[in-house]
């Protein structure tokens, strides 16, 4: 399990092909791309955040250009991450 926290915590998905991201930030007006970028930076993932696919708790593929809340992603949400 990967917890996204913009105020530093140890995370690693470097060599993994899947995992989960626990959203611990306010996402109301944030696009999912901004959230994914911050997650990848904090987790120090291999490659770019764009190499991964992200799914909300309903199993729907998340659109990078849409706001998180429009896609069911908010603080406390779990996002499935696959490569």
Residue with tokens 């706001």: 67
CA gap 38, 52 in Å, rounded: 13
Nearest to 68 by CA among 7, 44, 60: 60
Nearest to 3 by CA among 23, 32, 25, 17: 23
DSSP tag of 64: T
Question: Could you report the per-residue pLDDT of 18-64, keeping only the tens digit for each?
Answer: 677 778 777 778 899 998 888 888 877 777 888 889 999 999 999 99
pLDDT average, residue stretch 63-76: 92
**pTM score, whole prediction:** 0.76
């Amino acid at each position: 399990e990967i917890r996204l926290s913009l105020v530093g915590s140890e995370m690693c998905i470097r060599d993994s092909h899947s995992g989960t991201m626990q959203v611990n930030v306010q996402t109301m007006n944030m696009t999912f791309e901004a959230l994914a970028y911050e997650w990848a930076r904090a987790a120090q993932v291999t490659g770019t955040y764009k190499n991964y696919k992200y799914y909300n708790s309903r199993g729907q593929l998340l659109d990078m250009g849409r706001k998180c809340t429009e896609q069911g992603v908010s603080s406390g949400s779990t996002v499935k991450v696959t490569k």
